[in-house]
Structure 1
Amino acid sequence: MSSTPETKPSAPYADNKKAPVSTSMLEHISLDKWADTGFEWSGEVDPNSFERLATTLSAEHDQSNTQLNAELYRRNNVLHLAFTLKGDIWLTCQRCLQPIAIDLSDDYNIALLENDSQVRLIDEEQDYLLLDEIVTEQSPERLLPFKKLVEDEILLKTPMAPKHDDCEMSVEQFGEIPEEEESENPFAALASLKGKL
């Protein structure tokens, strides 16, 4: 919106433009309804509610809800999905097999481009996606997969092999370790022949 100062991208529209606050995270955002007026959502999200993420979470530790503040806004004629996460998830350390906390707290901002020509309208470092590749076309309205995009960013921030900085590898031993018998050096016999020939 041209009337919005560039210094306040976190509040790009008036309060009457906000979407109603929902208690559970939305799966999709209707672009037909909210792309031009803006959309905001705030709430706590259970990490187990993300299907792909849930398979990586530690079963040995209770997961706490993560605080999510999200907004969809348009700047310089480019649609943006920006969100802030605050909280940890618990994964399993690949060395000691004990729970390890991974901090998800960060600010995320993804430009949602109508086509490749809009790349010139965003910063070089800006993450972007093409709407044609992520918007589901099966319904009569264009739906942005909001929950999936948030989960994608969480998965990118999650280490593939989490490890504590200071832990020992967990090794289970079964049975006794046999003592190695001292075997005779095969070259010892040759050494004894030296000088005799």
Structure 2
Amino acid sequence: MYRVCLRTGDSGRDATGLYHDPDLLAHVYAGPYPVADPALTFVAADEGGVLGYIVATADTFAFETWLEENWWPALRERYPIELATDPADGSQDWQRVAHIHRSRSRHDELYDRYPAHLHIDILPRGQGAGLGRRLMTTLLDALRARRVPGLHLGVGSGNPGAYAFYRAMGFTEERRGDWGSIMVMDLRE
């Protein structure tokens, strides 16, 4: 999962060249989810290995609290705050280190209606054959079985293919910013 996260971490493109530490991106966007709630992690593999995954939490605010208590402390020790300074070499490690140190649980009114959130990443060799739809459907079924009322996600403006995929899956745009959009789906059907 960590390698898939890195190889799709630049708005769906390979982010390997953007990170000196190949694990840093996934420490934030993939690794904590199967530890916090393994039942909301689904992985697809083929003969070449892990092809893609979808990870989620049913309750974003509770997940953020869990991160603060269980996930960030070891990473904050491993990656001291001094590493959160831009070295001006085009790398993005410093941004993830800043996220690890500055991330705090906070309530957002969006969480009341759409408490769950997800991340999905699929390598190019797994794209275009319905794998994303199958992973998403599997996750949606799991969230509905838990009676989660709604789901949200962020999609960067540099990833129009992902935006179109989420629209096709039934998500609608709730908020838009310079960086991209927050998209939502009501699961109470």
Q: TM-score, normalised by structure 1?
A: 0.24
- Greater CA radius of gyration, 1 or 2? 1
Structure with the higher helix share, 1 or 2: 2
Structure with the higher strand share, 1 or 2: 1
Q: TM-score, normalised by structure 2?
A: 0.25
